[in-house]
Structure 1
Amino acid sequence: MDMLLTVSGPPGSGKSTTAAALAEAFDLEHISGGDIFRELAAERDMTAVEFNKLAEEDDQIDRDLDRRLRDIALDRDDVLLESRLAGWLAGDAADLRFWLDAPVDVRAERIADREGKPVDVAREETTTREASEAKRYDAYYDIDITDLSIYDIALNTARWGPDEVTAVCVAAVDSYDHEADEGKYPVEGVRYDF
Structure 2
Amino acid sequence: MEHFPSVVFNGDLGSGKTTVSVMLARRLGVRRVSIGDLYRQMAAERGMTALQLNVHAELDDKVDHYVDQMQHDIASSGERLVVDSRLAWHFFAGALKVHLIADPLVAARRALGRPGDAVESYGDLDEACRELAVRSESERQRFLTRYGVDKTRLSNYDLVCDTTRAEPQEVVALIQSRAEGAAGPRCYLDPGRVRRDEATAEDGEIAVRHQAPHFFALSGGRRLREAIDAGKTLTPVILSESGG
Q: Shorter-chain TM-score: what band?
A: 0.7 to 0.9
Greater share of strand = 2
| Aligned counterpart for 1:163 among listed residues 164, 169, 172 | 169
Q: CA deviation at 1:97?
A: 1.0
- Opposite residue 72 of structure 2, the aligned amino acid is R
Tell me what 2:149 maps to: 143
Q: Distance in 2 between matches of 1:19 and 1:152?
A: 16
| Aligned counterpart for 1:4 among listed residues 3, 6, 9 | 6
Residue 154 of structure 1 pairs with residue 160 of structure 2: yes
Question: TM-score of the superposition, structure 1-length normalised?
Answer: 0.79
| Aligned counterpart for 1:28 among listed residues 27, 30, 47 | 30
Q: Distance in 2 between matches of 1:102 and 1:78?
A: 27
| Aligned counterpart for 1:67 among listed residues 56, 65, 69 | 69
1:11-61 superposed Cα distances (whole Å, 9 cap, x missing partner): 10111111111111111110101233356568xx54564982643431220
- Opposite residue 82 of structure 1, the aligned amino acid is D
Tell me what 1:97 maps to: 97
Greater share of helix = 1
The DSSP-based 3-state class of the residue aligned with 1:8 is strand
Equivalent pair of 1:13/1:101 in contact (CA under 8 Å):
yes
1:93-128 superposed Cα distances (whole Å, 9 cap, x missing partner): 31x111001121111111111145311110000011
Q: CA deviation at 1:3?
A: 3.2
In structure 1, list runs of 5 or more residues that go unmatched: 178-194
**RMSD between aligned residues:** 2.4
Which of the two has higher C-alpha Rg?
A: 2
Q: Distance in 1 between matches of 2:69 and 2:12?
A: 20
- Opposite residue 164 of structure 1, the aligned amino acid is E
Q: Distance in 2 between matches of 1:48 and 1:67?
A: 22
Q: Distance in 2 between matches of 1:5 and 1:141?
A: 21
Q: CA deviation at 1:176?
A: 4.5
Equivalent pair of 2:5/2:94 in contact (CA under 8 Å):
no
Q: Distance in 1 between matches of 2:181 and 2:168?
A: 20
Q: CA deviation at 1:66?
A: 2.1
Tell me what 1:123 maps to: 129
Tell me what 1:107 maps to: 107
Aligned-pair identity in percent equals 32
Equivalent pair of 2:10/2:84 in contact (CA under 8 Å):
yes
Cα 1:58–1:110 shift into 2, 3 Å:
same
The DSSP-based 3-state class of the residue aligned with 2:154 is coil
Equivalent pair of 2:100/2:160 in contact (CA under 8 Å):
yes
Where has structure 1 moved over 6 Å in runs of 4 or more?
none
1:140-189 superposed Cα distances (whole Å, 9 cap, x missing partner): 00011122213111011113011211121122223359xxxxxxxxxxxx
Equivalent pair of 2:58/2:142 in contact (CA under 8 Å):
no
| Higher relative contact order, structure no. (Cα contacts within 8 Å, ≥ 6 residues apart) | 1
Q: Distance in 2 between matches of 1:106 and 1:132?
A: 20
Q: CA deviation at 1:81?
A: 1.2
Equivalent pair of 1:4/1:73 in contact (CA under 8 Å):
no
Tell me what 2:191 maps to: none
Question: TM-score of the superposition, structure 2-length normalised?
Answer: 0.64
Equivalent pair of 2:99/2:159 in contact (CA under 8 Å):
yes
